[in-house]
Structure formats: structure tokens, C-alpha cells
Structure 1
Amino acid sequence: MRNHVKEELEYGKIIESSATIADLDFERCSFVGGVIMQPADDPAYELVVRNVTLRKCKAGNVELYGVRFEDVTVDTLSHPKSIEFEACVCTHVVLRGKVGAVRFSAAVEDDSRAVLAPAAAKLYEGVDWALDITEAEFSDVEIWDVPGHLVKRDPETQFLVHRAAAAAADIDTLSVYAQIYAERAAEAPYETSVLAAPKRSKSFREILDAFRELRDLGIAE
């Protein structure tokens, strides 16, 4: 394990079809920013970040695409914008503490999604759990591209939503926030997704009430 404490790391780019970034521990470090991404859509997912820990770090703009994350822990991360995990796959990834805005999404381009989405789904078949957000405090969060049943969550503020139930819901009877999330869940790539109320958002209470509304209707649990 290579340890970094109170270091400032320059902007870096890792654009590789096959590479492994592993065995790193960062504490109170500052990342100017960077890119970790596949140059072309490779269903093998051989661009891997493994056994990496960040504690009380800061980051600039970060771009992540087509990365396989394994045994990664992020404990408190300050960053100016949303960190988006686009078309990424997670195994034993822990987010805890104040982590700002985070989004897990499928590839934006249709052709890319057609290649990577089935490959990601196949990889998740052999995973016991993908993501642990039980102690995470988000300012904003979307987790549409991780199977909900593989996410460890706080049942008081983070809910499992079922795609089929969301698709069958009478949208017109729901509150505004509940409508938005039900419609998104109905289009999610996996049968279940997780809805997490962002504790650090000004809209936390309204969003939490909407999730409880979906739970009371049997759309979420």
C-alpha cells in the first residue's frame, strides 16, 4: 500500500483500455482534477481501480467513464461539481461522510450503452454487494446504474424502488417529487434501484417525504 498524506496531486489523465490503479491510500490530499476513462467502449472492463482509499480529500473536476472499481472507500470528499460515474461498475465501493453530489449513470451515447450495459449487468451477476452508502451524506445523488439489491443502504433515508411497480403507478396521483422519481425508476436499466434522500440538500425533507410516499404505495421499500 502506497500512502499519500497532505499532498497536492496535479491534473492527470489515464485513458487506457487496460490498466490497473491499485493499492493507494490518500489522506487529506488535494487533487487538481483528472480523467480516468476507456478510449473506446470495451465490454471487458479492464480499466480497474482497486484497493484505493480516500479520506478527507479535495478534488477538482473529475471525469470517470467505463471504469471498474473494486474495494474502494471514499470517506469525506470535497469537490465543486457533481462526480459522475458514467458506465462504471462497482464491487465493494464505500461512500461515507460528506461526499457532495454524486451520480451513477449509464453511458450517454446509445451505441456505447449497447456495448457496456450488458457487460456491466453480466459482471454484477457475480457480485455479492456493489455499493455501501449507509453513512454517506450527499448534497445531491442519483444511483440509476447500479442494481438496487446490491446497494447497502440506510432504510430510514435510502429506499429500494422497483421498476415494475414504478411503471404501473398512477403518476397523476403522486406529488411532484414522487412523480419525478417514479418516472425515472420506471426507465432504470435494472429491476431495482436505490433512491437516497440527500441529507445536505435544502430539499432533503421534501425528497424524503416523496420517497416515503412511494414506500407507502408499495412502489419502494
Structure 2
Amino acid sequence: MTGVNLVDCSEKGCYVEGAMLTDVTVDGLLVEEAMPLKLAGCVFHRVTLRGELGQIMIRPKLHMAYRQSQPSYDAANSAAYAEIDWALDISGARGCAVDVQGIPSRLIRRDPETQAVMTFEQALGGAWREVDLAGTPFGVHAKIILETGAEDMVLAADHSSANFAHQVAKLAELRKLGCVLPD
């Protein structure tokens, strides 16, 4: 999919799998509650997500019915990410948190106040466990990094949450303790 601009759209239970998304902008997306937009095994190249967004889940793994193809997708996606200038811009995303796994964080443009990067080494170091992360998804994200062996992951405060300010404060605390990369 190339050169697509979607403005103030809605979706209900959509699932995009194994696509190459290039020069795509989504500016405002209403998502059916409890049915996030799922993007699995896709490659992102200059994709911008901004405005009010519902829940979006980006995952590196294909649906279980296609798992036999996973090694081919992993190799192709790694090769693609080695060649591109940037993959995903979530710096202007508002609304629900955009949950990103499988895209190297160095290729993600983000808002440093509300989004941070935790590396595998930082998750493994465990200093994040000293921070009371109740009311945030960050402890779960650290565990996902450890369970999957991911190189890193973007932690994003949820703009739609009643405790958004609390989440931003916890990101700042994690940054101060060296649990996420400095910006």
C-alpha cells in the first residue's frame, strides 16, 4: 500500500497482515472499542499516525494460520528496515496508546515527553521494578521485552486515559533512573 492518506476514518475489527506500507498517513481513526486495528508482520516506511486515534496494535508475528511463513517475513522485514530512513511517526498520535512491537525504535519518530524507548538491556537490568508502575502499561511492556527478547520497545502514555499525567510522570521517573533511553 503506497501513497494513502486517511483522514477521520473509522474501522471495526480490521486486520492487516504482511503488507508493505509506504508513504501512508492516518490522521484520526475511530476504532470500535475492544476491537483494535491490528497490523501484523507488516513493514512500515514513512507511515504517520496522528490525531485522535483508537487502539492500534502493531505486531511482528503473523496470524497463527500463516506461522510457517514467519521466518521468510522476519528476514524480509529485517532487510527492509536496514534500508529505510524512517518507519513510523507517532509523535502526533493522540487518543489511545499506539502499541508498537517489532519495529526498531531508531526508525520511530516519537514525542519524547509522552513516549520513551526501553531497551532489552534496560528491561533485563530490572531497575524499572523499583518504580511503582500501577496505572501504566509500562511494567507489562518491560515484561514483553524480556519474554520476546525484543531489542527495544516504545513505551507510550495513553492520551485517552484518565491518568495520562500520571503515566507521563512515570515515564519521566523511568528516564531519570536510566530505565529508558534519554532523549
TM-score range, shorter chain: 0.7 to 0.9
Q: Distance in 1 between matches of 2:76 and 2:12?
A: 30
Q: CA deviation at 1:193?
A: 2.2
Q: CA deviation at 1:174?
A: 3.3
Q: CA deviation at 1:130?
A: 0.3
Q: Are 2:5 and 2:24, in contact at CA under 8 Å, matched by a contact in 1?
A: yes
Q: Which segments of 5 or more consecutive residues in structure 1 lack a partner in the other structure?
A: 1-48
Q: Could you say if the C-alpha distance between residues 149 and 57 of structure 1 is closer, same or farther in structure 2, counting changes exceeding 3 Å?
A: same
1:95 and 2:49 equivalent?
yes
Q: CA deviation at 1:145?
A: 1.5
> What corresponds to 1:14 in structure 2?
none
Give the TM-score taking structure 1 as reference length: 0.70
1:182 and 2:142 equivalent?
yes
Q: Distance in 2 between matches of 1:203 and 1:116?
A: 37
Structure with more helix by fraction: 2
Partner of 2:83, secondary structure, is: coil
With CA pairs under 8 Å and 6+ residues apart, which has the higher RCO, 1 or 2?
A: 2
Q: Are 2:12 and 2:37, in contact at CA under 8 Å, matched by a contact in 1?
A: no
Q: Are 2:40 and 2:60, in contact at CA under 8 Å, matched by a contact in 1?
A: yes
Give the TM-score taking structure 2 as reference length: 0.84
1:220 and 2:180 equivalent?
yes
Q: Are 1:131 and 1:151, in contact at CA under 8 Å, matched by a contact in 2?
A: yes
How many residues in Structure 1 have an aligned counterpart in Structure 2?
A: 173
Across the aligned residues of Structure 1 and Structure 2, the Cα RMSD in angstroms comes to 2.0
Q: Distance in 1 between matches of 2:149 and 2:110?
A: 19
Q: Distance in 1 between matches of 2:153 and 2:40?
A: 16
Structure with more strand by fraction: 1
- Higher mean alpha-carbon deviation, 166-175 vs 90-99, is at 166-175
Identity of aligned residues (%): 29
1:166 and 2:123 equivalent?
yes
Q: Distance in 2 between matches of 1:205 and 1:187?
A: 28
Q: CA deviation at 1:78?
A: 1.1
Q: Distance in 1 between matches of 2:109 and 2:97?
A: 18
Partner of 2:94, secondary structure, is: strand
> What corresponds to 1:196 in structure 2?
156
Partner of 2:9, secondary structure, is: strand
**Letter of the 1:216 counterpart:** K
Q: Could you say if the C-alpha distance between residues 92 and 172 of structure 1 is closer, same or farther in structure 2, counting changes exceeding 3 Å?
A: closer
**Letter of the 1:165 counterpart:** Q
Q: Are 1:106 and 1:113, in contact at CA under 8 Å, matched by a contact in 2?
A: no
- Greater radius of gyration (CA): 1
Q: Could you say if the C-alpha distance between residues 57 and 140 of structure 1 is closer, same or farther in structure 2, counting changes exceeding 3 Å?
A: same
Q: CA deviation at 1:194?
A: 1.3
Q: Distance in 2 between matches of 1:156 and 1:88?
A: 27
Matches within 5 A, 1:41-120: 49-80=1-32, 81-107=35-61, 109=64, 111-120=68-77
